[in-house]
Every structure is written in C-alpha cells, then in structure tokens.
C-alpha cells in the first residue's frame, strides 16, 4: 500500500516551520490552514476477495462522489463534477456487457453493497447510459456511465471499516470515518495497472481550525507514506501549474525537503469572483426553465495563449425525472438561441424520450453538453449574464399530497480552450480524468472552472422542484385518485369495445356487398 497526503495552502495562509515536526517515524502538523488530499493505492493482493473478483471483470472502473454542499476547489484540484455518485465503467470484454449477465450484474451488486442498497442499478445494460465519445484519442473514457444523488458516503465508510481495517485497529477506523467530512471522493481501477486507488479531498479541516494530526509510518516500514506541504506559484506558461513547498517520506527522510516543480494541467481555476448560480423561476409547472446566472467577471476569456480558441460550456446531469428536448435544443434557429443565450447543443446521452413517464424509464437519466453564448464584451453586462435552458418534467407516480419533489444537481460550468500543440497533459501528478465531460473534448483541451456560488444560506448545490402528480388520497369527490383510476379503465374499455363494434360493422357491410356482387354476377351469366 502506498499513501500520499498533500496539503495545499493559499498564498495568503500563514505558515511557520514550527507548525511541522518530522521525526524518524512520524510527521506532525499543527493548525495548518490548507486544503488536503489523501490518496491510497492498493495492490491486487491487498483487496478483499469479493472486491477483486468484480474488478478482474472490469477493464476500468472509475467512481466519483461529490458533496451537495459548496466547497472551494483549489489548484491543482480545481476540477468539478455535479453533486452525487458518478460511475464510469468498461468491461474487460465489450461483447460480454451485452450478452452475459455474469459480466454485468456483479458491478451493480458491488455498488449497492459499498454505497447504498437503494441505488437504481440493475446492470450496466439496463441502468447505465452510453456517453458519446467525441474524442476517440481519449482512450481512457469509459463506455458506460451511471449517476445517482447520494447525500453522504456513510455506507462507503462502513464498508472500508469492515473490509480493510482490522478489528483492533482504531486508527484505521478513524481514518475511514474522516471520509464523512470529505468534499469529494475518487476511486479508480484499470486492468493495466491492476491497482485500486482511493482519494479524498477536503477544502478545509473539519471545524475550520486547521489541520492538526500525526502522520506515522506504516508498521514494518514496507509501505511508503509521502507528505507534501505545497502552495501554488506563478507559472511561466499558460498550460502549466507551478507548485513549491516541502516534501518528505515518513520513516525515510530526516527533514522536510524544499521542492519547486511545474507540470501541464488540463484543469485551471479562475479568479474567485468568476462565479455562477442556478435557479428555477417559479411557478415551474411541468416545463421548468433552468437559469444559469454567470457573473460579469466570469465572462472574460481565460488568460491563455493569444492564438487559443475558447468557448463557455455547461454540462448538465439530469435525473430521469427531468429531461430536455434534444430536437429543440439542437436547433440552429438564431432567434431561439439568442433568446436563451445558447450557442449550440454539443452532446447528449441517456434518456431523451419525450413521452415516457418516469416509471417506464429504466436508466438513471441524461447528460447534456451545451455551449453557451457570451457577450462580445463582458463590460456590456450590468451584473450577471443569464442563460436559460428549457426543460421538461416526466409524469411521476401518484402521491397522497398530490406533489412530489424532484431534486436537480447543479451543472458544471467551465471555459474550454485549445492548448499548444505538443503539450503532454499526462505528466500531471495530480491529474483527474474520467469526469464525464472532459472526454467530450480533445486530449489537449484546457478547462477553466467557474466557481458555484449558491444564493441560499444552506449553500447546497441542489435545486428542488415541486412536481404536481395524481392524488391518491380519497376526498369523496368525483375526481379522487381512485375514481380517476376506475374512470380511466372504463373509458379505455369502452373505447376498445367501440372499435371492435365499428370493425364488425365494416366487416359485415363488406360481406353483404361481396354477396350482392356475386349474386349479380350469377344473374348476368344466366341471362
């Protein structure tokens, strides 16, 4: 097992050497104001048997979870996904995913056991969607994709404590429990490396008092524990991120070693005032409109190369309860696009049936990549630039109140810019791929993330829509739920009988006319 812990401090965060102490077997930090990423890599023989039995059937499996609460994504961890659980999966044998249940169902069984037994996951063929791969050179992009809202990784913590931690190892259990306060969790496996990597990201220490902890070497000294205390520096090239700070391998180094290095990166942050928010104007009805409000500062093109081409995008992750009309959104009508401040629909995948109710939809939902229009000059915008996306609600199952709540995660909004030819993005030690949307672009595309900024006090990156449905509760009226149900059956039955009656009349009249024609022919022959 290999462990890597990285602290990222802001330039404004105070730091004094006395906050860190390195001994022959441990590194202690005290009140360290920083973001934190912890990454643990397991070899195949370190995994529980039930886990590697499933993983050996996977060509790649990438799991992403993001909190519903707003958090700060600092460089080099600036990439974002919509809140919830995201799964990207490719089987070892592509044909097996279509015709052999043995190759498909164990993945969903494992996901339910690790994350939530209530996941709407039966098999990749039935529950996952197949994303369009616009960049065939992005070989790491998975063939199946799944998403479901998941407020907390509590089940994951329980699974790790039971399967990875010895019964008497309280430190291991405490480390696993720290995932409950994480802002994002990534799990990666591919059949080439045969290694499972798990990482968590915390934008700040729980409680907001800074990180105070002791990081010890593993027993036996066979497992490597790397620790870095880093901060972002001014890079010399637009494609690069430059980091400087201190590094140490716990149990090997006698003192923290200074370091300064740079690397090309796909993901870059924008200034703190480059923000956006999402809302649904009320009343929403059955045809809600998602409004993406972008600050004036976020409309400035990123500071890249002069010859770079940039475009503003939004990547929507919509549950099955909500969908867009791909024929409407893919239009080239300039009046429609201008009225919504849209440029084009670049990609869509998943459930787009315009008529199916939610209980007929087996797959989890759909993804939409929209290119957004932006003003020629950002100073022409008074305060915010509003982009509107017309959407539609599916018919949901009845309820006693006559309403159901549909939860919609915020989309990811970003600038996508071309990078210089020859840039090798794979050299980034903090690289993050398989996010769902980056595979829809070329391998040298650079992404500049806008920061979500909720206007509500709870700081949640979710929107709740009240959806009117059929009322189940009987109130004695003619239009009670039971009365409507029986009335619908009666109308359908009467309509079916009427059609049969009309068909019988047509058949009878046709038979009479045919008999009359035969009789007339006989008389003509007799004459």
Tens-digit pLDDT profile for residues 366-413: 999 999 998 876 667 778 999 999 999 999 988 888 888 999 999 999
Residue 522: in which H helix or E strand, if any? helix 481-526
Of 329 and 484, the one with more pLDDT: 329
Summarize the confidence of residues 76-104 as an average pLDDT.
Answer: 75
Under 8 Å between Cβ of 77 and 202: no
Place 426 in a pLDDT band, splitting at 50, 70 and 90. low
Question: In this predicted structure, what is the pLDDT of residue 281?
Answer: 92
Question: In this predicted structure, what is the pLDDT of residue 501?
Answer: 86
Domain region containing 433: 275-468
Summarize the confidence of residues 506-514 as an average pLDDT.
Answer: 75
Of 220 and 134, the one with more pLDDT: 220
| 427 pLDDT above the threshold of 80 | no
Summarize the confidence of residues 159-170 as an average pLDDT.
Answer: 90
Whether residues 366 and 498 share a domain: the answer is: no
Mean of per-residue pLDDT scores for the chain:
87
Task: Specify if 496 maps to a domain.
Answer: yes
Whether residues 459 and 506 share a domain: the answer is: no
Whether residues 360 and 448 share a domain: the answer is: yes
Around Cβ 122, how many Cβ atoms within 10 Å?
16
Question: In this predicted structure, what is the pLDDT of residue 45?
Answer: 85
What single string gives the DSSP state of each residue in 45-65?
Answer: GGS-HHHHHHHTTEEEEEEEE
Task: Specify if 308 maps to a domain.
Answer: yes
Q: Looking at the DSSP assignment, which residues form a beta bridge with residue 146? A: 87
End-to-end CA distance of the chain: 106
Whether residues 347 and 310 share a domain: the answer is: yes
Q: What is the pLDDT of residues 314-327, one digit of tens each?
A: 999 999 999 999 99
Whether residues 230 and 324 share a domain: the answer is: no
Q: What is the pLDDT of residues 16-33, one digit of tens each?
A: 888 999 998 899 999 999
Question: In this predicted structure, what is the pLDDT of residue 102?
Answer: 44
| 513 pLDDT above the threshold of 90 | no
Question: In this predicted structure, what is the pLDDT of residue 455?
Answer: 80
Task: Specify if 109 maps to a domain.
Answer: no
Cβ neighbours of residue 274 closer than 8 Å, sequence gap 6 or more: 295, 297, 298, 300, 450, 451
- Closest by CA to 66, choosing from 87, 45, 36, 51, is 87
Q: Looking at the DSSP assignment, which residues form a beta bridge with residue 38? A: 5, 200
Whether residues 431 and 361 share a domain: the answer is: yes
Under 8 Å between Cβ of 343 and 285: no
Question: In this predicted structure, what is the pLDDT of residue 402?
Answer: 84
Task: Specify if 123 maps to a domain.
Answer: no
Question: In this predicted structure, what is the pLDDT of residue 158?
Answer: 96
Whether residues 342 and 454 share a domain: the answer is: yes
- Closest by CA to 97, choosing from 120, 131, 121, 125, is 125
Summarize the confidence of residues 91-101 as an average pLDDT.
Answer: 57
What SS3 class is residue 284?
coil
Cβ neighbours of residue 306 closer than 8 Å, sequence gap 6 or more: none
Cβ neighbours of residue 319 closer than 8 Å, sequence gap 6 or more: 147, 148, 149, 364, 365, 406, 407, 408
Alpha carbon distances (Å) from 324 to 26, 334, 393, 394, 510:
54, 19, 9, 10, 48
Whether residues 279 and 409 share a domain: the answer is: yes
Residue 415: in which H helix or E strand, if any? strand 412-418
Question: In this predicted structure, what is the pLDDT of residue 378?
Answer: 62
How many separate domains does the chain show?
3
Under 8 Å between Cβ of 100 and 127: no
| 482 pLDDT above the threshold of 60 | no
Of 227 and 486, the one with more pLDDT: 227
Question: In this predicted structure, what is the pLDDT of residue 520?
Answer: 72
- Closest by CA to 141, choosing from 388, 373, 437, is 437
Whether residues 383 and 426 share a domain: the answer is: yes
DSSP 8-state assignment for residue 96: H
Write down which residue in 242, 264, 286 finishes a domain. Answer: 264
- With pLDDT > 90 as the criterion, what percentage of the chain qualifies? 55
Question: In this predicted structure, what is the pLDDT of residue 136?
Answer: 44
Under 8 Å between Cβ of 144 and 132: no
Question: In this predicted structure, what is the pLDDT of residue 526?
Answer: 66
Task: Specify if 152 maps to a domain.
Answer: no
Whether residues 424 and 309 share a domain: the answer is: yes
Task: Specify if 378 maps to a domain.
Answer: yes
Whether residues 281 and 238 share a domain: the answer is: no
Task: Specify if 200 maps to a domain.
Answer: no
| 132 pLDDT above the threshold of 90 | no
Summarize the confidence of residues 137-162 as an average pLDDT.
Answer: 86
Task: Specify if 310 maps to a domain.
Answer: yes
Whether residues 292 and 250 share a domain: the answer is: no
CA distance 92 to 60: 8
In 252-337, beta strands by DSSP E: 257-264, 267-269, 275-279, 289-295, 310-319, 322-323
Question: In this predicted structure, what is the pLDDT of residue 140?
Answer: 59
| 480 pLDDT above the threshold of 60 | no
Question: In this predicted structure, what is the pLDDT of residue 424?
Answer: 66
Question: In this predicted structure, what is the pLDDT of residue 97?
Answer: 47
Q: What is the pLDDT of residues 322-369, one digit of tens each?
A: 999 999 999 999 999 999 999 999 999 999 988 889 989 999 999 999
Place 449 in a pLDDT band, splitting at 50, 70 and 90. very high
Question: In this predicted structure, what is the pLDDT of residue 382?
Answer: 75
């Amino acid at each position: 097992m290999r462990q890597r812990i990285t602290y990222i401090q802001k330039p404004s965060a105070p730091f004094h050497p006395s906050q860190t102490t390195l001994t022959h077997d441990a590194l202690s930090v005290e009140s360290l104001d920083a973001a934190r990423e912890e990454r643990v890599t397991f070899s195949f023989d370190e995994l529980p048997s039930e886990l590697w039995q499933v993983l050996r059937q996977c060509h790649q499996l990438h799991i992403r979870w993001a909190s519903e609460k707003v958090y700060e994504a600092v460089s080099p961890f600036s990439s974002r996904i919509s809140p919830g659980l995201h799964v990207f999966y490719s089987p070892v044998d592509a044909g097996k995913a279509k015709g052999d249940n043995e190759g498909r169902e164990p993945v969903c069984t494992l996901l339910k056991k690790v994350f939530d037994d209530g996941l709407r996951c039966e098999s990749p063929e039935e529950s996952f969607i197949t994303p369009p791969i616009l960049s065939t050179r992005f070989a790491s992009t998975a063939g199946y994709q799944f998403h479901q809202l998941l407020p907390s990784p509590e089940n994951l913590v329980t699974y790790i404590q039971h399967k990875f931690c010895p019964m008497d190892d309280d430190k291991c259990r405490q480390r696993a429990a720290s995932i409950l306060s994480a802002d994002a969790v990534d799990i990666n496996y591919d059949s080439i490396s045969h290694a499972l990597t798990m990482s968590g990201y915390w934008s700040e220490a729980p409680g907001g008092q800074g990180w105070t902890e002791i990081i010890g070497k593993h027993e036996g000294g066979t497992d490597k524990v790397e620790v870095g205390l880093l901060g972002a520096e001014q890079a010399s090239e637009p494609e690069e991120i430059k980091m400087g700070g201190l590094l140490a391998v716990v149990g090997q180094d006698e003192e923290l070693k200074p370091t300064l290095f740079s690397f090309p990166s796909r993901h870059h942050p924008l200034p703190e005032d480059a923000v956006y928010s999402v809302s649904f104007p009320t009343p929403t009805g059955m045809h809600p409109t998602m409004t993406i409000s972008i600050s004036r500062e976020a409309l400035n093109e990123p500071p890249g190369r002069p010859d770079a081409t940039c475009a503003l995008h939004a990547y929507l992750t919509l549950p099955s309860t909500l969908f867009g009309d791909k024929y409407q959104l893919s239009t080239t009508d300039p009046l429609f696009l201008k009225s919504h401040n849209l440029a084009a629909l670049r990609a869509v995948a998943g459930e787009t049936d315009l008529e199916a109710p939610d209980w007929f939809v087996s797959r989890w939902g759909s993804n939409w990549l929209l290119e957004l229009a932006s003003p020629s000059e950002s100073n022409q915008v008074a305060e915010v630039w509003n982009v509107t996306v017309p959407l539609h609600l599916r018919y949901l199952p009845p309820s006693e109140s006559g309403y159901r709540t549909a939860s919609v995660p915020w989309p990811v909004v970003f600038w996508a810019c071309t990078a210089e030819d020859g840039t090798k993005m794979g050299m980034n030690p903090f690289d993050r791929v398989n996010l769902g949307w980056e595979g829809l672009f070329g391998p040298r595309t650079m992404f500049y993330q806008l920061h979500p900024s909720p206007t509500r006090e709870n700081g949640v990156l979710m929107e709740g829509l009240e959806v009117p449905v059929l009322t189940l509760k009987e109130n004695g009226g003619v239009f009670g739920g039971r009365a409507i149900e029986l009335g619908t059956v009666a109308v359908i039955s009467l309509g079916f009988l009427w059609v049969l009656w009309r068909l019988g009349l047509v058949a009878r009249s046709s038979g009479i006319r045919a008999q009359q024609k035969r009789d007339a022919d006989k008389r003509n022959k007799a004459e």
